[in-house]
Amino acid sequence: MTKIQVNIPTPSQISSDFTFGNAPSDDAYRQVVYVDRNVAIPIELILFAAFVFAVIVAMVAIVAVRRQRRQHAATSGPMR
């Protein structure tokens, strides 16, 4: 891919389109460097995240059950 930038102050001076030809040799312009990295997530991190998630879900469930019981107890009132 080629990028070119030209400043032409008076467009009327343009007499033809740009033309591009082959280079005199096929030498590489830049050295190409490939970097491959393997990303490994430690199993301990996955287990810890799963544990934290399970604790949060359990806490939310406990709070929801307690609220439901309180609301049920408040609405039913003492029986006579």
Q: Distance between CA 31 and CA 28 in Å, rounded?
A: 7
Give the tokens for residue 53.
Answer: 């998630």
| Per-position DSSP letters for 32-45, written without gaps between them | -----------HHH
| pTM for this model (two decimals) | 0.45
Compute the C-alpha angle 41/45/48, nearest 5°.
155
Report pLDDT digits (tens) over 9-47. 888 888 888 887 777 887 767 777 888 887 888 899 999
Give the tokens for residue 7.
Answer: 């400043």
Domain spans of the chain, in order of start: 38-80
Q: Say yes or no to pLDDT of 71 above 90.
A: no
pLDDT recorded at residue 44:
92
